[in-house]
Homo-oligomer: A and B are copies of this chain.
């Protein structure tokens, strides 16, 4: 892990990166249930799932989101901070043994009320091994400007 300073002016709309795959395991679901206290039968009860339209246990939405975001953790940019997320949507279920990939693309830059900073939006698109989209969201970063905006 290294530190690499990138100011707001140097974020490029359209810049895109893709991660390696990460196989989601039964062990992941158990760990996530254990961390979050969400033991819904959708995640924990194989027999009940078999009676439902989706047939098989489903990974928690918060698990897929957490892993997908974690996969994009790369260099440390000391002048950017995570501000939040918008439009997080779960498109398809992820089952045990599926492998997910995150594609992250800078889709927007906009001003922030603080003239010293700007907002950069990185769209995350998570797909599975069949190239189906399973989740999307927008990661909002607050990034320092080299040159503050004038009032």
Residues on A facing B (Cβ under 8 Å): 1, 19-23, 25-28, 30-41, 44-48, 57, 60-63, 65-67, 69-71, 73, 76, 82-90, 97, 99, 129
Counted per complex, copies of this chain come to: 6
A130 nearest CB across to chain B (Å): 10
Residue of B nearest to A30 (CB): B27
Inter-chain contacts of A71 with B (CB < 8 A)? 36-37
Inter-chain contacts of A31 with B (CB < 8 A)? 27, 30-31, 34-35
Which residue from B41, B73, B83 sits with its C-beta under 8 Å from A40?
Answer: B73
Chain B CB within 10 Å, residue with most, of A34, A67, A76: A34
Inter-chain contacts of A33 with B (CB < 8 A)? 34, 37
